[in-house]
Structure 1
Amino acid sequence: MEEPDPRLRLLLAAADPGLLDGTVRAARARSTQVGELPEAEVRRHVRALVEGVVASLATGGEPDPAVLEAAGRLGSDRARQGVPVAALLDGFQAGREYLLRRLIGEGRRRGVSDGVLLDGLTTIDGMTTALVHRMVHAHRTAELEMAQTTRESHAQLLRRLLHGEPTPRPAPLEPATAYHFVVSDVSDPAVASRLEGPLTEAGRGLAALVDGRMVALVARLPDLPADAPLMVAAPPRRPAEVAPLYSLARRALAAGAHAGLRGLRHLGDLALLTAADGEPELGRLLAGSLLGALDPDDPFHRELAETALAYLDHGSRIDPAAAALHVHGNTVKYRLRRLRDLTGGPPATASVADTAHWWWALRTWLSISSR
Structure 2
Amino acid sequence: MATQQGCLGGRLHADLTEHVPSYRAVPRELLDQIWHRHFQRALAVVREGKVPAPEDFDEADVAWDRVARGVPLSDGLRAFRRALSAIRDLFLAEATGRGLDPGLIVDRTKRLWDLADVASLQIAAVHRQAEVASALLDARRRADFLRGLLYGTLSAAEIHSGAAIYGLDLTRPYRALRAVPNGDVGPDALERSLQSRGRGDGRVALFTVLDDVVVGVVEKKPETGGLEVTAGLGPPTDLAAAHRSFRAAGRLLEAARAYALRGVYDLSDLSWRVAVVAEPELAELLLDRYLRPLEAEGEFGALIEESVRGYLEKGRHVREVARAAHVHVNTVRYRLRRFEELTGTSLDAPDTAVELNWALAARELKAVSLRNRCTAAELG
Q: TM-score when scaled to structure 1?
A: 0.76
> Does the C-alpha gap of structure 1 residues 59 and 115 become closer, same or farther in structure 2, counting only changes over 3 Å?
closer
Aligned length: 348
The structure-2 alpha-carbon separation of the partners of 1:275 and 1:101, relative to structure 1 and needing over 3 Å to count, comes to: same
Match of 2:87 in 1: 99
Task: Indicate how the Cα distance of structure 1 residues 92 and 278 shifts in structure 2: closer, same or farther if over 3 A, else same.
Answer: same
Report the equivalent of 1:201. Answer: 199
- Which residue number in structure 2 is paired with residue 172 of structure 1? 162
Give the unaligned 5+ runs of structure 1: 1-10, 318-328
Pairwise CA distance, 1:78: 0.6
SS of alignment partner, residue 216 of structure 1: strand
Per the alignment, in what secondary structure is the counterpart of residue 63 of structure 1? coil
Match of 1:334 in 2: 326
Q: Which position in structure 1 is the counterpart of 2:376? A: none
> What SS does the aligned partner of 1:215 have?
strand
Higher helix share: 2
In the superposition, relative to structure 1, how do residues 340 and 72 fare at CA in structure 2: closer, same or farther (>3 Å)? farther
How far is 1:259 from its partner? 0.9
Kindly, what percent of the aligned residue pairs are identical?
20
Name the counterpart of 2:179: 184
Q: Alignment partner for residue 50 of structure 2, among 41, 51, 61?
A: 61
1:279-300 Cα deviation digits (max 9, x unpaired) = 2233233334333465599899
After TM superposition, give the deviation of residue 223 of structure 1 in Å. Answer: 2.4
Task: Tell me, in whole angstroms, the C-alpha distance in 2 between the residues paired with 1:112 and 1:284.
Answer: 98
Deviates more, 1:25-34 or 1:76-85: 25-34
Q: Which runs of structure 2 are paired with 1:23-102 in the superposition (5 Å)?
A: 23-63=12-52, 68-69=57-58, 71-102=59-90
Whether contact under 8 Å (1:183, 1:249) holds in the other structure is yes
Root-mean-square deviation (CA, aligned residues, Å) is 4.0
Greater Cα offset, 40-49 or 150-159: 150-159
Shift of the 251–137 alpha-carbon distance from structure 1 to 2, 3 Å rule, reads same
User: Counterpart of 1:116?
Assistant: 104
1:366 to 1:64, Cα distance in 2 relative to 1, 3 A: closer
Distance 1:239 1:150, change over 3 A: same
Q: Aligned match of 1:16 in 5, 13, 16?
A: 5
**Contact 1:61-1:126 at 8 Å conserved across structures:** no
Question: 1:281 aligns to what?
Answer: 281
1:163 Cα deviation after fit? 2.6
1:237 is matched with: 237
| Number of the residue aligned with 1:325 | none
Deviation at 1:19, TM superposition (A): 2.9
Q: Within 2, Cα distance between the matches of 1:336 and 1:304?
A: 14
User: Partner amino acid for 2:196?
Assistant: P
- Secondary structure of the structure 2 residue equivalent to 1:54: helix
- Per the alignment, residue 213 of structure 1 pairs with 213
Of 113, 122, 127, the residue aligned with 1:125 is: 113
Distance 1:132 1:196, change over 3 A: farther
Which residue in the other structure is 2:144 paired with?
156
Structure 1's 155 and 62: CA in aligned 2 closer, same or farther, altered over 3 A? same
Using the TM superposition, give the Cα deviation of residue 212 of structure 1 relative to its aligned residue in structure 2, in angstroms. Answer: 5.0
Deviation at 1:241, TM superposition (A): 1.2
Residues 16 and 368 of structure 1, relative CA distance in 2, 3 Å threshold: closer
Q: Equivalents in 2 of 1:339, 1:368: separation in Å?
A: 26
Report the alpha carbon displacement of residue 14 of structure 1 after superposing the two structures with TM.
Answer: 6.8
d(CA) in 2 for partners of 1:76, 1:283? 58
AA of the residue aligned to 1:256: A
Cα distance in 2 between the residues matched to 1:55 and 1:124: 10
Mapped partners of 1:248, 1:49: distance in 2: 58
Q: What is the distance in 1 between the residues matched to 2:94 and 2:34? A: 24
CA shift at 1:64, angstroms?
Answer: 6.4
User: Is the aligned partner of 1:134 residue 2:122?
Assistant: yes
In the superposition, the TM-score normalised over structure 2's length comes to 0.75
Partner of 2:378: none
3-state DSSP class of the match of 1:172? helix
- Which letter does structure 2 place at the counterpart of 1:61? K
CA contact (8 A) 1:306 1:366 kept: no
**What is the letter of the counterpart of residue 163 of structure 1?**
Y
Give the Å deviation of 1:367.
4.1
CA contact (8 A) 2:191 2:209 kept: no
Q: Is the 8 A contact 1:79 1:140 kept in 2?
A: no
2:138 is the alignment partner of 1:146:
no
Cα separation, 1, equivalents of 2:333 and 2:3: 96
Partner of 1:6: none
1:252–1:16: structure 2 CA closer, same or farther, 3 Å change rule? closer
